[in-house]
Amino acid sequence: MRATVTHNTDSTASDEALLPGLYIVATPIGNLGDITLRSVDVLGRCDAVACEDTRVTGKLMSHLGISKPLWRYNDHSDEAARANLVQRMHDQAVVLVSDAGTPLISDPGYRLVQDARAAGIMVTSLPGACAAVVGLTLSGLPNDRFLFAGFLPSKEQARARALEEFAAIDATLLFYETGPRLVKSLTAIDAAMPARQVSVARELTKMFEECRSGTAAGLAAHYTDNPPKGEIVLMVGPPPQKDASAFDVDALLTEALKADKPSQAAGKIAKATGLDRKMLYARALELRAG
């Protein structure tokens, strides 16, 4: 087994050349002020930058006043392009960035890291911005255990199957989502995990940053009337405890009754909480009657 070579770059700026290898650098997700001093130092001393889109990375480099060769590397890059990059790393310091945030987190790069490690290349990673972590810290959802699951499937049946699988996991769930798909995903979450606490974080670190919380049904209604823009972190709280005293049953039913009939509302709440459906249906009828 080949040993993996690692190296920590100095935290202070230097005029010395970087050691050859692969440097994984996180870039801002919105606010350009979020790039770290160490990242600026490494970008300034590297030999080249491998990036998803040279136009996007070029704007960041221009903002930093740094000029380096930019090499395109993304999900469409073939094996030959990856092998060429790895070969260059034997003699050059190559930085890997994505368009925004931490590379490899729902972004290209893991095959490149695998191949570099297998070739005995020095690989190091510089911490920085990550939308999933920023969203989680804003949401107020439990953060002692969480699962990041990237993007949900785009097709309805595949999305429903994925959510059914995730529903049993005792952790806060984190997804990335796009504006045009958000309402569909919220509707699917309402079907698979009704009454769970849900948060939508968008435009993170930017002027119109927003983190809105509620039920999936309530958020779907809001974003139907207010179509969202920007990149989104969609978060779902863990399964609640199956003790009736732990729930505000009336609040859950009142929210569900905004969109569903009493029988449907009772079924959803029962599925989400494990509480008795007949009891919930009777209470739903009482609430509906006023």
Total of domains in the chain: 3
Whether 232 and 135 share a structural domain: yes
In a domain, 5, yes or no: no
Whether 30 and 82 share a structural domain: yes
Q: Are strands 21-25 and 93-96 parallel, antiparallel or unpaired?
A: parallel
In a domain, 115, yes or no: yes
In a domain, 14, yes or no: no
So what's the pLDDT on residue 165? 93
* Residue numbers of the domain that contains 253: 244-289
Q: Are 144 and 102 in contact (CB under 8 A)?
A: no
CA distance 189 to 160: 8
The candidate with the shortest Cα–Cα distance to 83, out of 46, 118, 35, is 118
Whether 122 and 140 share a structural domain: no
So what's the pLDDT on residue 271? 77
Whether 163 and 260 share a structural domain: no
CA distances from 268 to 51, 234, 262, 273 (A): 45, 20, 10, 9
pTM above 0.85, yes or no: no
CA distance 125 to 134: 19
Whether 30 and 120 share a structural domain: yes
In a domain, 122, yes or no: yes
CA distances from 33 to 27, 59, 205 (A): 10, 14, 10
Q: 10-residue block means of pLDDT along the chain (290 residues)?
A: 44 74 97 97 98 97 98 91 96 97 93 96 97 97 96 96 93 97 97 92 96 96 95 93 67 89 88 80 88
> CB atoms < 10 A from the CB of 260, how many?
19
Whether 33 and 118 share a structural domain: yes
